[in-house]
């Protein structure tokens, strides 16, 4: 059956319902395409907003992680310095407990000249040694020189410094008063 362009011939074919159906289907397809396009654009905008929100939240997370890491380091540094202070204080207490007064006094008795008396003795405990402040009385000015020389010869005393000296004219009736600071090193700590 061939299709001809003569519409006056019989049998008459009415193709209008097919054309109307095609037009309606085309309009429906166009409507659905527009609705789908609108949904896609709305979804894209929503996803883009969500992406921005996610990026903002991730950046806030990174900033919070950096801040918490810095805080953790600061707290650890504080703890370490506090622990170091406590350790040095405990070490000083241990040194005070281990310090032998008898050994120090015996060493001073053996080292100092016979005409020198010890009037004051005050130890200060450091990390590796004991600093000793001594106030002594001597009969003559030579007592000062002999005391410093005797302490210098003894290996238990180091860094000897004459702090002060007062003569009998300065109101000291006992004789020459002088103060010496030295570092006392026990046999345990070379």
Single out the residue of 184, 105, 177, 164 nearest to residue 136, CA to CA: 177
The most confident of the ranges 15-19, 60-64, 147-151, 162-166 is 60-64
* Structure confidence by residue, pLDDT tens digits, 56-97: 999 999 999 999 998 888 777 666 677 777 777 777 777 777
Q: What is the mean pLDDT of the chain?
A: 82
Q: What is the pLDDT of residue 7?
A: 64
Give the sheet arrangement for strand 130-138, strand by strand.
116-125, 130-138, 176-184, 157-166
Alpha helices by DSSP H, listed for 15-174, are: 16-98, 101-111, 141-153
Q: Are 150 and 112 in contact (CB under 8 A)?
A: yes
């Amino acid at each position: 059956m061939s299709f001809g362009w003569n519409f006056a011939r019989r049998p008459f074919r009415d193709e209008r319902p097919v054309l109307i159906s095609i037009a309606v289907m085309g309009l429906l397809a166009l409507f659905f395409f527009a609705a789908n396009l609108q949904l896609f654009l709305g979804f894209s905008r929503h996803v883009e907003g969500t992406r921005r929100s996610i990026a903002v939240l991730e950046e806030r997370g990174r900033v919070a992680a950096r801040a918490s890491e810095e805080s953790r380091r600061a707290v650890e540094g504080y703890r370490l310095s506090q622990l170091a202070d406590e350790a040095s204080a405990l070490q000083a207490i241990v040194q005070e407990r281990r310090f032998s007064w008898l050994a120090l006094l015996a060493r001073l008795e053996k080292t100092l000249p016979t005409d020198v008396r010890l009037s004051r003795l005050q130890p200060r405990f450091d990390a590796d040694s004991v600093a000793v402040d001594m106030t002594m009385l001597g009969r003559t000015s030579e007592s000062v020189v002999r005391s410093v020389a005797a302490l210098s010869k003894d290996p238990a005393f180091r860094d000897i410094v004459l702090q002060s000296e007062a003569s009998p004219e300065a109101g000291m009736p006992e004789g020459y008063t002088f103060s010496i600071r030295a570092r006392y090193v026990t046999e345990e700590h070379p």
